[in-house]
Amino acid sequence: MSPNCDFTPGAALRGGVPLCLPWFGVHPTDPHKPKHGFARNQFWQLGEAHLKADGQVELEFLFVSEANELFPYDFSVELRMILGHQVTMELTVNNTDSEAFSFSWALHNYYKINQLNQTKVLGLTNRTYLDNLEGLIEKTQTTDVNFPGAVDRVYLDIANPLVIDMGNSNSQNIEITHENCPSVVVWNPGSEAAAKITDIGANQEAFYICVERGAVRSEAWVLEAGSSASAKVSFFATPSHS
């Protein structure tokens, strides 16, 4: 969590895992609608909570949305978390409406890091991406992703796991696996933008990166009336080889 996080009810929290849905980023047809949808700003209901025999904790959160001016369809979402030596988050979206709709989403994970200039994201080399800092122009990732300045990239059709390499033999890396999350977003605002964002603040960009999995832009889900779709993300510490 950002030390400058705004906890005012209705504000999007700067940290943790905001759930960006029913659309990711700027709304595709109406830029006046809230960025990243509206679910991340709402209270979710705790449906179940279990302590498992192996010591893991399982939690289920529920969100129900009736058709409204922001999204004119009924839907519900279930988020199941399993917390233990690794964290698993399983998202299920249910179309409870009488019509089909398009639905994009991302788990907007904020990961704490030690030194931004040593941190890399492994697993995206030689893949194309859309550069959100340059009008979504398509580029090729020729090296591991590093952070010499602001980074805001969308990678599509990424099936393989990713690793956040902390670049330090004294730190554990983070491996990220998934099921049915084709899109990857990598983001850090850089020092200039961070200093202008109230709930981040000057120099705070040096202590986190966002590596997000989901289904965004052309990979948005299309759900028929009465249908459901699910996806899963797991992340866990792995030994550093730096």
CB 185 within 8 A of CB 75: no
> E strands of 71-207, at which residues?
75-83, 86-95, 101-103, 105-107, 110-112, 120-122, 128-131, 137-140, 151-155, 162-165, 173-179, 183-188
C-alpha separations of 23 from 37, 79, 116, 164, 241 in Å: 5, 16, 29, 26, 37
Active site members: 108, 212
Burial of 200 (0-12, 13-18, 19+ CB in 10 A): buried
Q: Residue type for 93, please? A: V
- Do 155 and 128 contact (CB within 8 A), yes or no? yes
Taking the C-alpha atoms of residue 29 and residue 141, their distance in angstroms, rounded to an integer, is 29
Tokens of 234: 């797991």
- In angstroms, how far is CA 219 from the centroid of its own chain? 15
